Chains A and B, each alone.
Chain A
Amino acid sequence: MSDDEVRIFTPPNLLRAKVGDKPGPDLDQIVAKAEAALTELQDDYEVWIRDDLQTLRDAVVSLRREFDPKVLERIKTLAHEIKGQGSTYGYPLLTNLGHMLYGFIDRDADVAARHLDLIYAHVDFMTLVLNQGIHDQGDATAQGILAGLETAITRAHGDDSRPTTATPSST
């Protein structure tokens, strides 16, 4: 087909017919039921996340012995996964910390590789959040530590610009 040719198809809406006219539960009921189910999964999550945090610690120890970009990439991937799950299980600070750690490595892997202590600090803070059961994003102590981490990240990158630490959506 030519560069500017456009074909438009409108497939029949089979899904509309399939769901029919019977109404579903209220959205509030859906949310309440889902939140209850996710709360039941929270204990499992705390086991999974502890495994992930141990994997992160082991990865940093391994990097201290011998640098391997694949290991750093693995840390970044795990940080991304933690970001994607923390809020779902009532730990928005884990989402923030995963976001910060991912951004720190993604922005400049060489800088991150020279600041393994800063990566480890993220993991320590995640562990603290979990151990203390800090579910409140506005917790004063947690905010203080977050601010300290942000400052350390800015210094590590060697400029005065603020790192990307915007809070991801958690609703």
Chain B
Amino acid sequence: MTINLETLSILVVDDNKHMHSVVKAILNSMRVKNIRFSDNAADAFMEMRQWHPDIIITDWAMQPLDGLDFVRLVRKGADSPNPYVPIILLTGHTEMCRVIEARDTGVNEILAKPISIKSLYSRIASIVQSPRAFVKTKHYFGPCRRRSTNLNYKGPERRQNEMAA
């Protein structure tokens, strides 16, 4: 059984209008109707101020600001309308170093292109059903990057509160 996504509002940020059509077709099939589109990061940031999307889906490769620049603006910008908004990053770059870079910028989920319908659903469902805590350090603000707890982990704890525990 899937969850009913029809009440969600989603902002899609991509400079390729063809991708707008693709993402819209897939989201509509999930009953998501409340969708807006932006061609670039600056417009998306303005859109966020006027309309408060529940989730943002953004492409990585955009000009002049790319998707990660946009994520930084949302997460760390002093005037960000919602630093906690869940963000799904679409990318054709699936090399591990790129995935780590995206994760360390504060995206919630990464989705490889070409978009898989099931994968997009599972990313959205994960955001709705199992949201991660947010973490702030001197160098990072975003969803917790620890996806699971390794009970067999024997190494040093790097978080101050865990060191004290």
Pairwise interchain contact B8-A18, C-beta atoms closer than 8 A: yes
Q: Does B25 contact A (CB under 8 A)?
A: yes
Pairwise interchain contact B7-A85, C-beta atoms closer than 8 A: no
Interface size of B by CB at 8 A reads 52
When each residue 22-55 of chain A gets 1 if its CB lies under 8 Å from chain B and 0 otherwise, what string results? 1111110011011101100100110010000000
B25 in complex: contacting residue of A5, A27, A37, A86, CB < 8 Å: A37
Least distance between A105 CB and chain B CB atoms (Å): 14
Q: Does A81 contact B (CB under 8 A)?
A: yes
Chain B neighbourhood of A170, CB < 8 A: 114
Q: Does A2 contact B (CB under 8 A)?
A: yes
Q: Which A positions have Cβ atoms within 8 angstroms of B? A: 1-11, 13, 15-16, 18-20, 22-27, 30-31, 33-35, 37-38, 41, 44-45, 48, 77, 80-81, 83-88, 95, 99, 102, 168-171
13 additional contacts (CB under 8 A) given A85-B22, A169-B114: A4-B163, A7-B135, A8-B161, A23-B1, A24-B4, A24-B31, A25-B2, A26-B2, A37-B28, A38-B25, A88-B22, A102-B92, A170-B114
